[in-house]
Structure formats: structure tokens, C-alpha cells
Structure 1
């Protein structure tokens, strides 16, 4: 009996140490777990192009969006309201052109490229090459479950991503930006992850800006279907 009691104690200690070892202690480890959870870096880098269609509810009105992305540096997004084009943006690898309400603005160089990165579904694979700083802040409850809070910083901008401790998946992002009215906080949430060609994508998301809130639902994601570069030509 005595030997069994000692064995039980040792097994208990071993399980405790195993549980403790699973606690992530660095931002890099959290991001690595996330990239593994969504399919792994090799699978993500196998993406050559992507076409996403989604619908967004904006205070009772529905906006339809089509997003096309081609590796390494092309992007196009077009939005429609009631069947009419409401605006969009195109990045041809050099210039970003955005149109909205009849007005067109452009960006060049690194600023334009950063826009492409932000629209990539997994920008984390670029963070090291872009020298994005990462810091593990701690944990926080998101929808009643523990999530790692990681702070990112780049070019004077900071944001926080929250990764579910159990699954490793990204469940929330918070940002603070300067506006004419002062600092504006925004919150993004992600859910309903589904596999497409072995890669996990969130099929639902929501965005909150002050009192304004809108929710989106992905209708389809198509990968590696072959998108002609002409699709990204700026008129």
C-alpha cells in the first residue's frame, strides 16, 4: 500500500508538471501555437490565391463583399449595397487605390504594402520579417474562456490579439487609433472556425467602434483557383 501511495503521488506530481509545462510564457510561443492550430506555416504558405465572399449586417442593411488576394503582393476588395458597387480598394503590388462615395485616394510603397498585409488572413507569418514587436501581457476571459493577451507594435501602432488558451485560435482583437475626436477604440471578434483545404478560417466576425457595431458572415472561401493579374489592374 505504501509503494502504491508513493507511486500515486509521483504520478500526480508528473501530471502537475505536464499541465504546468503547457502554460505558454512568451508571445512567440502563443503565435506559434496559433499558426499550428490553423494548419501550420507550410500549409499557409501553400496558398497562392484566395477569393472570399461575405455578407455584413450594418444597422439592418446588408453589404456584400468580395475579396481577392494573390501571393505575394496583390489584393482587391469590392463592396456592394443593394446590388450597386459601394466602394473598394485595389493593390497592384506597388500602388493602393481606394474608392468610396465617388472619392479616390492612393497610397504608395511600404504604406500600401502594409494594407496588403492587414488584409492577409494570417498576417502573423509576416511579423518577424516586418520586425513587429510582440509581448505577452497575460490572460483574459473572452466569452467565458481563458485567452492569451498578446500586444503587438509596429511603426507607432499597437494592437492586442487574444488567442484561446485551449485551441490556440484567435478569438478577439482590440485597437486604438487617433481620430479628429480623439482616441477611438475598436474591437473585433472571430468565431465559427471551419477548415478549407486544411486551413482553419473564422466564418463569423463582428466589429465594434464606440456605439457602432456590425457583424459579418463568410459565405465562401476558394483557394488556389488561379486569379489573373489583370484582376488587380488599377484603372
Structure 2
């Protein structure tokens, strides 16, 4: 049970110096351009920039299992970067709120401010459509090559923040859809590796979302199914208020 509680409370080159400076700059520019092309193809595949830019709020309901326990997660987001996440599993409740500047987590009768890199990560997670303009969040993108995921050719894209936070996203070379994500999550228990796989893209209000999501965190597999996605329901700002 303690392990379950811990998981619930968590619920995240060698440079060849002989090359000339100009060559390195050109390579970086080419890498960024290729990464942007992959992202643009993804945005087109799920509905297009215009449709995504018209999303002002979104409510996603997910259900699944973890360590034999049923779980429910309700994520409410409002542009540009407000989020309320309610998580229930194994008799435990967790609430995370980000009001656009500050973050808080409530669980087990306790309330904890989210700070440092955890807060920076939360801001990224709260953003509705961060891929529309990664640079506005200070994110640098680069193309890391082609790999295989479940026998499919995928493009690997690196996302990096000035603070050192980074993650990788994998996009199917054929469909353009994102199929996998890898990242390091900074938590109170230290750095934790997280892998997320996306499948069963389904259209909701003109935009495709993955309705099957499998997460591997700290050696535990969590599989959830999206039961509904509701867009532009005029969510009340009070949902994202952090009370003193």
C-alpha cells in the first residue's frame, strides 16, 4: 500500500569538435527545420493548426488500472496554461492545480506547493497546445534520427528547456501521429523515468486524440482508456483557483 501511495503522490554527445563553427550552426539549423517538419505533419494529421488554435478549454476523462487497482483521472485545461487534474485510485485521491503561475498538489489530507523543476514541468503539462509554438515556452527542438517503435519507422524529436529539462517524442513516419514519449520526471523522490505509448487515435470535435495510453513509471505499467474528450465547454476559472 505504501508503494501504491508513493506512486499516486508522484502521479513524469559526443560533439565532434573538429567541425567548423559554421558547419555546426548549419547542422543545428537543419536539425531544427527537420524537427519542425515532423511536428507540422503531426499537427496536420490530428486536425490542423487552425482547429487546434480554436481550442480554448478541454476536459479529458480517463479510466484504467494500476497494480490491480481501478483508477479514474479527470484533466481539465484552459488556455493558455491552466490545469486541474483529479486522480482517484485504490481509495486515494489526488488533486493537482496549476493556475498559470503557481502549482499545488493535495493528497492524503496534505497540501504541497509545487516548486522548482516540478513547477516548470507542470507548466508544460498544463499547456493546451504547446506544439503550436514551442519556442514561445523557451523550448528548443531538434531532430534525433529515425528509429523503430513496434516495427514502425518513427522520427525521434528532442525537446529541451534552458533549465536542462528534456524529453523525447516519437512520430510515426507514415501516419505522422505521435506514438511514444520518453521523459525524466523530477519528483520529491528524485528523478524518475517515464515512458508513454499512444494508440487508438479517435476524433473528438474535429481533432484526433489517442484514446489508449500506456504509461510505464518506476517499473509499474499503467494503462488507461480515454472515455471522453469535451472541447470548449466554457470551463469556469474558479476551477483553477489555488486557495490560500
When the two structures are superposed, what TM-score results if normalisation uses the length of structure 1? 0.80
Q: CA deviation at 1:188?
A: 0.8
Counterpart CA distance in 2 for 1:107 and 1:180 is: 10
Pair 1:29–1:43, CA change in 2 (3 A): same
Q: CA deviation at 1:210?
A: 4.2
Counterpart CA distance in 2 for 1:152 and 1:187 is: 15
Q: 2:40 aligns with which of 32, 38, 48?
A: 32
Structure possessing the higher radius of gyration over alpha carbons: 1
Q: Tell whether the 8 Å contact from 1:62 to 1:81 is kept in structure 2 after alignment.
A: yes
Q: Secondary structure at the match of 2:184?
A: strand
**Where in structure 2 are there 5+ consecutive unaligned residues?**
1-31
- For the pair 1:100 / 2:131, whether they are aligned, the reply is no
Counterpart CA distance in 2 for 1:96 and 1:202 is: 26
CA deviation map 1:38-62 (0-9, x unaligned): 1111111101111111113101111
Q: 1:204 aligns with which of 212, 226, 230?
A: 212
Q: 1:224 aligns with which of 221, 232, 236?
A: 232
Calculate the aligned-residue CA RMSD, in Å: 2.6
Q: Tell whether the 8 Å contact from 2:88 to 2:94 is kept in structure 1 after alignment.
A: yes
Counterpart CA distance in 2 for 1:206 and 1:124 is: 21
Counterpart CA distance in 1 for 2:225 and 2:176 is: 21
**Where in structure 1 are there 5+ consecutive unaligned residues?**
1-23
- Residues 43-192 of structure 1: matches in 2 within 5 Å? 43-81=51-89, 86-107=93-114, 112=119, 114-120=121-127, 122-154=129-161, 155-177=163-185, 184-192=192-200
Q: Tell whether the 8 Å contact from 2:56 to 2:232 is kept in structure 1 after alignment.
A: yes
Q: Tell whether the 8 Å contact from 1:27 to 1:150 is kept in structure 2 after alignment.
A: yes
Counterpart CA distance in 2 for 1:220 and 1:186 is: 24
Q: Secondary structure at the match of 1:128?
A: helix
Q: CA deviation at 1:226?
A: 1.3
Q: Tell whether the 8 Å contact from 1:94 to 1:113 is kept in structure 2 after alignment.
A: no
Q: CA deviation at 1:225?
A: 1.2
Counterpart CA distance in 1 for 2:74 and 2:186 is: 28
Q: Tell whether the 8 Å contact from 1:95 to 1:109 is kept in structure 2 after alignment.
A: no
When the two structures are superposed, what TM-score results if normalisation uses the length of structure 2? 0.77
